[in-house]
Amino acid sequence: MKELPPGFPPVTSAKWHSRRLWDPLGYLRVRTLANPNWDRDTRWLAQTLTRSTPANDAELRSLYGAAIDATKRFPRTTDGHIDDELAWDEVLTAVDAILTVTQRRHLGAVRATGRSGKDVPPEDL
């Protein structure tokens, strides 16, 4: 199973409980998609991603589109092979791209308010 991108709280962190309010996809990623016992309901996931796609944000729309495509392609990989684990890692990679942009924007907003505190990494992450 693919690990979370660097800079995110670990899956077991209590931070995810409050974070789910501003990062529901991140919460879904750590609590459901990373669970090896989850049934990988790709139809539901594609619908969830479609409903979550922002209307007026070209960068995120593109990333959501890639995640939806990877989800709909599952269990095929981008090169056409049928491989559940590799294809699932492609889905998670696409979701992680969304999370990385969301995290970068969130941290920028926190820094802009002057409330970054000790848990906010420097801007270069």
Q: What is the pLDDT of residues 77-108, one digit of tens each?
A: 999 999 999 999 999 999 999 999 999 998 88
Query: 90 lies in a domain?
Result: yes
Query: 89 lies in a domain?
Result: yes
CA pair distance 110, 47, nearest whole angstrom: 30
Query: 75 lies in a domain?
Result: yes
Query: 51 lies in a domain?
Result: yes
Q: How many domains does the chain have?
A: 1
**Residue-number span of the structural domain to which 45 is assigned:** 39-113
- The whole-number pLDDT of residue 116 equals 61
pTM assigned to the model = 0.88
- 93 token code pair: 């990679």
Query: 76 lies in a domain?
Result: yes
Q: How far from 5 is each of 14, 75, 93, 100, CA to CA, in Å? A: 18, 22, 9, 7
Q: How far from 99 is each of 46, 75, 83, 114, CA to CA, in Å? A: 16, 22, 24, 23
Once rounded to an integer, what is the mean pLDDT over residues 117-121? 56
Query: 88 lies in a domain?
Result: yes
Number of continuous H segments (helices) and E segments (strands) in the chain:
5, 0
